[in-house]
Structure 1
Amino acid sequence: MRILKVIISTPENMEGAVRAGMNLANHLDREVTVDVVKMSGDSDEKLVNEVGMNFGMYNISSIKFMPDFLDVLNIDTQTNFENSLIFTYLDPPSPLHDYDVVHIHNSIPIFALVICVIQCRLKGVPYVFTTHEISKIYEWPEYLNMGAAGEFLFKQVYLRLYESVIRGAEHIISLSNSDKETLRKKFPNQDVSVIPNGVSFEKCDNEVDVESVTGRPILLFVGKIIESKGVLELINAVDGIKHDFSLFIVGPESDPSLVAEIENNCDDRIRFEGYVSKNRLRQLYQFSDIFVFPTKSDVFPLVTLEAMAAGTPVISTSVGGIPEQITPETGILINPGNTSELTNAINKLLIEEEMRLEMGKNARDRATNEYSWRSVANDTINVYRTVID
């Protein structure tokens, strides 16, 4: 069986869907012949090293067209629609028709995705599509304050193209049951399987200095620094914490104004580290007492799984597929945007150490049993076999 993995990505993207596609390929390589192509990005070498790819990854082009067209049209929106106008051409290491299945991850930039799909159709190669964001997409117009012009553009262009990709796929992989329900309602005739993201189980290198993360109970947030991840709610919530603690905020600095606001709130309890190395991130996961991720919009985040794999109890929100990850035995779920609930949950786990430790053990057991990359790879191979047969 020969598989081509295609990772659609904007040049700056180093986030979950990209890493998930690369990690899955890493484990598929033990069972099938797989080539990986990714749209060229600013940090591809760093990504390959951090994921620990066992083989080479091939780059395909990222061609920008009219990156400032929203300004020309005078459309005011928070949505980064210019990412839609990045094109590519699928140029794998072997002729496209030599592959049994093409497996595509991610949908942004949308025109790059569509071009890859058209090439598959022209060559008669079936494609499988993993929908990393299906439950969020239909919320974008309201959540991102697109305005009338932005919403019209989104529905008439982006959404139509995205739905055509789903309809044309031989099989769809969703990350959670909640995503599957969304797909079932909108695409009742489409074959859908639920295969979640997996997680790696690794400890930090011994030579890493851990002095800076010891001494007080440690709260950890890891995520893209944008408003929807709930980092401001977390900073507001810690004012009500009744116990000594250290809070580490980690993630790529995507919103400069939000970063500035976080830095203005930093003191001896709150530390902002920005983007950190893979080893530093492992260190923080390993030595944290509570992982706090008060996201307001998510699908099936990797960071919660990574915290669980490190044996850390999780406080998060009941959005997307997170309730399928976090059970009452492994953490606490709150309503998104509810600062008082967040404060209460943190206080509860800081006070009840025995509960916190038991949740951490259960979290690691759950991650090991339910979300190993090996089991994810095996389930994905079964999908490929169904498509080929």
Structure 2
Amino acid sequence: MQTYKQVDEFMKRLDLKYFKNTKDFVADLMYKTDKEYTTEVATFLNSRALGQNSDNDSFYRLKNKTLAGSLCVSAAFDSGVFRHIGNMLVDNSDLLCGTVLDIGCDCGIVTCFMASENPDTKFIGVDKNELAVNNAKELAESLGLENVEFVTADVYDFALEEKANAVTSFRCLLDIAQTQTKGVSVIGERGEREARYAEAFSPLAKAVCDNLSDDGTVISVERYTALYGWLGWMSALSNNGANPLSDKCALMTAQDISSTIEYSVTFAQKGSTSSPLEAYDCVMSEKFKSGAGVDGANAEYALYKDSDEIHFTDVKKGEKLIHQFATAVSPKGKYMFYEADLDRRSIKYVNEKKREKMMSDFEDKKKMYNPDEYTMNDYSVKSCT
């Protein structure tokens, strides 16, 4: 993806800089706000890092106490992905015409960038957080933008008077659909898992498509990826009339203050004939190599791409799926051994000589689960990409 000068200039104007470490972020936040606010933010983020606080609404209320604070926090955690999004939006500016609705706009960073680059287009940013919307209005005013407005509203209940030519969402789906996706497993047989995500995303997909014109486009960059949720999100959009544009969908990697994060890039359009599975396969097949042991989403993709039938064993504690084993045979006669838990996924290809050892290792791992506490379910599925 090409890097554009106007993206860099916009980032610099808002001082959305990279922070090398947490110490630099805290120092900059204190300089731009005050000690009390900085302590609040640091305490909240520390508790989240320890898994003690997952209340996203509280975080965004705290983040948006002031525009300066909100921009600084965004710089720490989102400047990398915002830069990539900006470059992508310049490449696809032809889709940003007429009226564009940006859902989950937060303090308006990406909405204002789109508005600054497309002065003849009307942009409407929507967020349920009034503090964020107030910051977005302040940001737009400081940039002298007259073609953007911001509205405090729940996107599930929001309806435009005139349908949008495009509806965008950037790094907000995890927050908007948090209630709906709660309890949906991040592992499990792909078809069943992603069908559950599609069902969870369906109300949001309907709200998006109800606000979209007959030939309108959905553009989203989200933290639901090939690991889980992305295929479900594309399916939910498709079920509501917006099918993916396979040649534009992609995976995006960006750096934040603490880690490298992968995002899914979804382009969907009313009138497109591509299926979610076709778009998914188009993206994932680029890095697929038969016979290669891999980790993460590529491991699951290899399992489905490179076999005709998969034999699963699911390990559950109560209703929660915590571990999954699978075996299959590739077209070249290699034996495939797949394993997934809540933190990792991996696949290995072995020949006949090593097959017995791998089967023995799998059986030993299964024996570690006490049948009084855990249940195991064996089943097979026909695979397809």
Q: TM-score, normalised by structure 2?
A: 0.30
Larger Rg: 2
Bigger relative contact order, structure 1 or 2 (CA pairs below 8 A, ≥6 apart): 1
